[in-house]
Amino acid sequence: MGIEERDRDGNIAALKAVAEQFAVSVTPHLQALIDPADPADPIARQFLPDAAELETHPHELSDPIGDAPHSPLPGIVHRYPDRVLLKLVNVCPVYCRFCFRREMVGPGSKGLSAGQLDAAIDYIRANPGIWEVILTGGDPLIVSPRRMADVVARLNTIPHLGIIRIHSRVPVVDPARITPGLVAALKGGKPVWLLLHANHAAEFAAPEARAAIARLVDAGIPVLGQSVLLKGVNDSPEALTALFRAMVVNRVKPHYLHHGDLARGTSHFRVSLDEGQRLVAGLRGRVSGLAQPTYILDLPGGHGKVPVGPVYAQAEDDGSWRIVDPWGCTHRYEDPAAG
């Protein structure tokens, strides 16, 4: 799909300017899901370039979650004591228009060389406090089954590692990549968990995507969901309900709902924290607990993820608690264990 085909407003020059700054790619699978007659199509909004990306603000950052200060060597981000990111590649099958790593990924971006991968794995091996490795990028499931099997096998030789986690969009954006060979490459050693990034129920509409997820789950690989709260995509109770129910139906447990990061050129996707809290509160009691993710903010500067969901319990001066139920009614609760 060329820039001319993506242009909705006759502003080809602006879209080409976007493509010069930020990577653009849409898989044939996603192209088939887009309704060209719908100007608010949620798939198009996530993946097709928009002239609004040329608008930047002083608060926007090239490294919005602070990877760089916590990267002791190429491919490693060590922000938390017990886990590290291992960034295998810097390319993806598609490029989200709101990506927090949009300054670092895209065609021509170099993945880890053989020597850099050796050094990254040596770093993990030399730090016994590391219990979890998170394969990310880019999208790690873009690599060949052979390369994935090699990386997983090498990680499996590190005694202090407990699990391997993979962050990916591939099952819903390029499901043909989830082959039996790739699934087999993930199995046979330490437990592998997959965090699937999806933001709208339409991403689960295609039978190919549902089958790709089923191949992973049926192979014993637990799949969790992570989403980004995006204006014009899922910023309504109905859209979030449909998204999280679609995940649960496909045996994907909603895990994180991310507040949007302050990446350059993404203000048109931004929802306020106050509105995000109202939306999340609106799910409580109305949607199954299985479909409730944790609403989180990844603090700028590399200070980590923190839950920012609504508060339902507040201590009162008299020692009691004020509790808000799922329907917004307030109740007084005396805590007998408080003495």
Question: Angle at Cα 196 formed by Cα 191 and Cα 197, nearest 5°?
Answer: 150
CB atoms within 10 A of CB 54: 15
Question: Is 165 a residue of the active site?
Answer: no
Residue in 41, 63, 92, 256 annotated catalytic: 92
Question: Is 92 a residue of the active site?
Answer: yes
Sign of the dihedral through C-alpha 79, 81, 82, 84: positive
Residue in 41, 45, 97, 99 annotated catalytic: 99
Residue in 16, 80, 123, 215 annotated catalytic: 80
DSSP string, 168-215: E-HHHHSGGG--HHHHHHH-SSS-EEEEEE--SGGGG-SHHHHHHHHH
Question: Is 329 a residue of the active site?
Answer: no
Q: Mark residue 188 as left, alpha or beta (left: phi above 0; alpha: psi -120 to 50; beta: remaining).
A: left
Question: Is 298 a residue of the active site?
Answer: yes
**Which value, in Å, is the radius of gyration of the alpha carbons in the chain?**
21
Q: Check: CB of residue 75 under 8 Å from CB of residue 86.
A: yes
Residue in 6, 96, 139, 174 annotated catalytic: 96
Question: Is 101 a residue of the active site?
Answer: yes
Residue where the block lists tokens 């030789």: 157
- 3-state class (DSSP) for residue 252: coil
Angle between helix axes 114-126 and 145-156 (nearest 10 degrees) is 30
Residue in 41, 50, 139, 261 annotated catalytic: 261
Question: Is 305 a residue of the active site?
Answer: yes
Alpha helix ranges (H) inside 54-179: 114-126, 145-156, 170-173
Question: Is 80 a residue of the active site?
Answer: yes
Residue in 6, 45, 83, 210 annotated catalytic: 83
Question: Is 187 a residue of the active site?
Answer: no
Residue in 6, 41, 63, 79 annotated catalytic: 79
Residues assigned a catalytic role: 79-80, 83, 92, 96, 99, 101, 261, 298, 305
